[in-house]
Chain A
């Protein structure tokens, strides 16, 4: 899976969980905190995305995730395993 595809998937699911982002272009380098995404919303986005990618993600893998880019790396690494 290409990086752009994962980012696209994450953007789709961000909008699924938080419809307020529907019409916005989201800066993937911004932290989820700065975007106003709560920790609960983030785990919901991760749950939907990892299911769609067919990866199993340990909860500990998210500890260092701050931005969409961080999360993309974690998901791609899990997919490559």
Chain B
């Protein structure tokens, strides 16, 4: 596993910051005049060079050399994807393991890496066509980050990206499972890059009423408040994560450290363009995940909510949880990690899945911060404001996206 976020770019720091309820939300470092979005999880000043240097200590020399060269020649978001992939692959102990390269695949969770790069090039082109990147047409393709990742790692199984907006992480996870189950991969890398929106897209989200605006501009860390009575929209953020999933006998055969077992992912849609969340299909997708995973609902002992802090979304998800888990819903451990991380959009599900695994491994659940007064309509145990010592065995990770895409993944502790 690997993560790059406002709360740390290694698993240890990421865990420690989530544990103490730290917020990764600040004022945007380069706000655009007239754009309503003023705060977010800002990674624009992230030091890729330092991260690259740190990987020099854990990557084989030839891999590190390819990584350095390609990061140097690539848009930032592509570089982040490569750093995430390299670290996840190293963390899984896959360098030096004898596997046919065509049996190692890579799935990019959400092809949303290039918005800022494209915007910069369109602006440059408008001033002088020769000012745009000569290789724009190559580097703006969803395949480019994957091609770079495959070149760095020296693997050549199937690689492609899956969409799904903010549900992209779960969808990519299911696709990676299918690569292993049905298409002969021994292991599959699931990667998300930074999903950094342009100021125009942020402005659009604000105007559509999706973002938390104004009230907490002076205290950005308090703005993201899922399940709270006074929540007023989500706070956009940046982050990326990588996971390696592997066929179980293969992992056991090589003595791999196994963090968790992926049991199944349910996916459905609302059949509606309107982004209004609906409890009914959300409940159904959780049931679908249970069926896919062949798990009884009573076995789920922790639920990592999608909970972005929009008034309608959180309420719909809470209703859906009540419908699926019945009388047990109020006792089920739940948290909303976006209270600290903000909404990392296409990367959110994968980053939060890494957090799910860390919570299972460490026997502690992270808090839902900014819970000054819980929404009286929502009677769930959301680990309000303080972490909770608790070791879940079987977790559900919800992720819902624009386009009415609903998903739920189920993971189980493996030790």
Contacts and interface: CB of A to CB of B under 8 A. Distances in A.
Interface of A: 17-20, 40-41, 43-44, 46-47, 50-51, 56
Nearest to B139: A40
Interface string B332-352: 000000000000000000000
A46 B134 CA distance: 9
Interface string B291-314: 000000000000000000000000
A11 B131 CA distance: 20
A41 B73 contact: yes
A79 to B, nearest CB: 15
Contacts of B135: 40, 43-44
Interface in B179-224: none
Nearest to A40: B135
A19 B72 CA distance: 8
A17 B73 contact: yes
B130 interface: yes
Contact of B134 (A19, A47, A56): A47
A43 B134 contact: yes
B124 to A, nearest CB: 11
A40 B135 CA distance: 7
B98 interface: no
B23 to A, nearest CB: 37
A50 B73 contact: no
A18 B134 contact: no
B138 interface: yes
Interface in B117-164: 130-131, 133-135, 138
B69 A47 contact: no
Contacts of A41: 73
Contacts of B72: 19
Nearest to A42: B134
6 contacts: A18-B69, A40-B135, A40-B138, A41-B73, A44-B135, A56-B130
A43 B132 CA distance: 13
Q: Which 6 A-B pairs have the closest CB atoms?
A: A47-B134, A43-B134, A44-B134, A40-B135, A19-B72, A51-B130
